[in-house]
Amino acid sequence: MTSPIDIEGGGTSVVVDGEPGPETKGEAVKLDGRSPGQLMWLRFRRDRTGVISAYVVGFFFLVGLLAPLIAKLYGKNPYTVYADERPDLFDSAGVPVQPNGGIGGDFWFGLEPGNGYDVFTKLIYGIRTSLMISVAVTVAVVVTGILLGVAAGYLGGRTDYFIGRVIDFLLAFPAQLFFIASMPVVVSLFVSPRDETPTYVRVVALILVQWFLGWMGLGRILRGTALALREREFIEAAKVSGASPWRIIRKEILPNIVTPLLVQATYLLPNFVTAEAGLSFLGVGIVEPTPDWGQMFSKASTQLVMQNDITYMFFPGVSMIIFVVAFNLLGDSVRDAFDPKTAR
């Protein structure tokens, strides 16, 4: 990785006769080329904004992943109703006696007015829930986008026409409205309205609904990329040597769509995080007592919390802004690293 790129090494640099020794090895190592991926990684590492954003994003994922461990070390969990456990901390209306929701050594981010949940554990568990859902949606969208986009682009003709019209049709939907309207419908497909809805059903419904209207943009981009790649001569070269369409897609096209795929995925994920938060805020996503990022906003905007504990809003708000901004900056850096020629 440290050796300089030796582009015009053709035929002159290594003439080793006899003496296979450590020197030969060194030369061999030097002659290993850098893959486009390695070059991208080198460029990315030079981008300070990108690296810092990557650390921030990584930190959020780590927090989400290790939420149970952190909560254990911290000694609390998000489901404990402190209004019952420690009634001394609350007044008769259920508002923490201490200012700012009772922020202190025991409760770092304070307590939630009303039920008295611990805000810190609630936040990290909320991040965990939101990120899990968003990652699942992103994975589903990426898989769908690859399958349909590459199929449309590579096969062309009728397949392309059909998939293209489906994309047009779905893009015409007002997404946010559709989410709100269809969430209860999707949930009721799984559970009868009279029963208590299990959390996992809501999670699955959220993933399904967002996936259904989320894949078209990526699908279109990948269709375009596949369409452009199909006309390249290396595809014809593969055909001349008798490669099957499946092999061409797998070995020749897929490695070449990694660039737009990664760039788009880094833009999609923060969008899904905010969309999911929006749904939970509106009350059609994750509901109490399951902690969720967006649902904390909805809690913060209730009259009880608004009037008595304005700092409550601060924690989900600031953390989400940092996360979304960092992730979008990361997306920009990934794009810059992958194709340095396009100006922003």
Partner 1 sequence: MKEDLVLPAPREKSAGADGEPLLEVSGLVKHFPVKGGFPIRRTVGAVQAVDGVDITVHAGESFGLVGESGCGKSTTGRLIARLLEPTGGTITYRGQDISHANRKQLAPIRSEIQMIFQDPYSSLNPRQTVGKIISGPMEINGINPEGGREKRVRELLEIVGLNPEHYNRFPHEFSGGQRQRIGVARALALEPKLIVADEPVSALDVSIQAQVVNLLQKVQRELGIAFVFIAHDLAVVRHFSQRVAVMYLGKIIEVGDRESIYTRPRHPYTHALLSAVPEVNLATDDATARERIRLAGDVPSPISPPSGCRFRTRCWKAQDKCATEEPPLVQISGNREGHLTACHFPEEPTTEARDEDIVLDPALAALEEGTPGPEPAQEA
Closest separation in Å from C-beta 269 to partner 1: 24
Which of 7, 73, 177, 343 is the binder for partner 1 (CB under 8 A)?
A: 7
With contacts defined by CB under 8 A, how many residues of the chain interact with partner 1? 35
237 binds partner 1 per the rule CB under 8 A = yes
* 46/251 with CB nearer partner 1: 251
The region of 84-92, 108-116, 245-253, 272-280 touching partner 1 under the rule CB under 8 A is: 245-253
232 binds partner 1 per the rule CB under 8 A = yes
Closest separation in Å from C-beta 120 to partner 1: 45
The region of 110-118, 218-226, 239-247, 260-268 touching partner 1 under the rule CB under 8 A is: 239-247
* 182/256 with CB nearer partner 1: 256
35 binds partner 1 per the rule CB under 8 A = yes
Which of 23, 236, 288, 339 is the binder for partner 1 (CB under 8 A)?
A: 236
Which of 34, 45, 72, 250 is the binder for partner 1 (CB under 8 A)?
A: 34
In whole angstroms, give the CA distance from residue 34 to residue 38: 6
* 11/193 with CB nearer partner 1: 11
**CA-based nearest residue to 101, from 124, 129, 120:** 120
CA distances from 262 to 206, 226, 287, 299 (A): 23, 15, 32, 35
* 32/91 with CB nearer partner 1: 32
Max Cα–Cα distance, the chain, nearest Å: 91
5 binds partner 1 per the rule CB under 8 A = yes
243 binds partner 1 per the rule CB under 8 A = yes
Which of 3, 49, 188, 244 is the binder for partner 1 (CB under 8 A)?
A: 244
Closest separation in Å from C-beta 172 to partner 1: 21
Which of 88, 195, 196, 233 is the binder for partner 1 (CB under 8 A)?
A: 233
The region of 9-17, 164-172, 191-199, 276-284 touching partner 1 under the rule CB under 8 A is: 9-17
Which of 3, 23, 25, 31 is the binder for partner 1 (CB under 8 A)?
A: 31
* 36/174 with CB nearer partner 1: 36
Which of 93, 185, 251, 339 is the binder for partner 1 (CB under 8 A)?
A: 251
Which of 58, 87, 184, 255 is the binder for partner 1 (CB under 8 A)?
A: 255
Closest separation in Å from C-beta 255 to partner 1: 4
In whole angstroms, give the CA distance from residue 234 to residue 256: 12
Report which residue type is found at 181: A
In whole angstroms, give the CA distance from residue 243 to residue 249: 10
234 binds partner 1 per the rule CB under 8 A = yes
Long-range CB contact pairs, 147-152, < 8 A, 24+:
148/215, 148/219, 148/223, 149/218, 149/219, 149/220, 149/221, 149/222, 149/223, 149/225, 149/226, 150/222, 150/223, 150/226, 150/249, 150/253, 150/254, 150/257, 152/219, 152/223, 152/226
Look-up: residue for tokens 């001394």?
88
In whole angstroms, give the CA distance from residue 119 to residue 296: 9
14 binds partner 1 per the rule CB under 8 A = yes
Look-up: residue for tokens 């039920």?
115
Interacting residues toward partner 1 by CB under 8 A: 5, 7-14, 27-28, 31-36, 232-234, 236-244, 247, 251-252, 255-256, 258
